[in-house]
Structures are given as C-alpha cells and as structure tokens.
Amino acid sequence: MTRNQIIFAFVLVLIVVGLASCAGFDLGDVVKVRTPNRVQQTAGLPSSTSLNEAVVEYQAWFEDVQRTGAQWKSNIDRANEVRGMLSQITLSALDEVGPTLAGIPLLGPMLPAATGLLGLFLGVGSLRKEKEDSFNKGLEEGRKTTTSAGA
C-alpha cells in the first residue's frame, strides 16, 4: 500500500465512525467487559457484556450490595444492643442474689457455673435447626445444579 492509500483508508474509517456516532451508534455497545463469576451467579449475567450494559448492571449490583450490607450491619447492631441489655439484666440479678447466696456454703460459687452451663444448653436446639436447614438448602442447590448440568 502506498502512503496515499493508507491516508485515504484512515480518513475513510474516521468518516465512517463519525457518521455512525452521529446516527446514534455507540462504541460502548461494541466494547465487551468480562463479568466476574460471583456476579454472574448472583445477578444471572452472561460472562461478558457490553460496556454500556456493564455500567448499568454494576450500579444496580453495587447499590444492592450496599443496601444488603447496611441492613445486615443494622441487624448485628440491634442484636448487640439486645445482648448488652440481657447481660446487664443478668449481671444486676446476680449482684442482687449473689450476696444472699454467699452465706450458703457451695451455693455461692456454684451460681456462676450453673448460669454458664445453662447458657450452653439454651442455644443448642436453634443451632441444630439452623445447621440442618443450611444442609438441606445445600442439598437442594446441588440437585438443581446436577439437574441443570444433566439437561
């Protein structure tokens, strides 16, 4: 190719791109962006999307993550407040009962040990149920994955 042909081809490409952009053609629809695997799974997006679509999906995903994170943090803070309140009630009750029981041999030192053992056994049923539900959900997801992979 001669120098004049290269310049002509370059000018022609610029004119075509300029006319295409004036006609509403957006290069963001041509440029592809890879979508992370985790986002593909949670948002149901393909492995690569156009730049324009990726920007919109990113904003929606980011806002969802922020909203979910804020809600979870709020729930944790609320649970910490309840725990602190229950701890204060328990400690004040022990402060009231402690001096009374201190005069009875063996009962005074056994009170903290008994409350600790009681605390161990209070959450066992709900923890077992939570683990069982999590296991069952994992089995269900595994079945879904296996049936969709086999189909």
- Residue extents of the structural domains in the chain: 28-89
C-alpha span between 70 and 65 (Å, rounded): 8
Q: Is the pTM of this model over 0.85?
A: no
Taking only the tens of pLDDT, the chain with its 151 residues reads: 799 999 999 999 888 877 777 777 777 777 899 988 888 888 888 888 888 888 998 999 899 999 999 999 999 999 999 888 887 777 666 666 555 555 555 555 666 667 666 666 666 666 677 778 888 888 888 788 777 665 5
pLDDT of residue 102: 52
Helix (H) or strand (E) holding 44: none
Eight-state DSSP code of residue 28: G
pLDDT of residue 41: 85
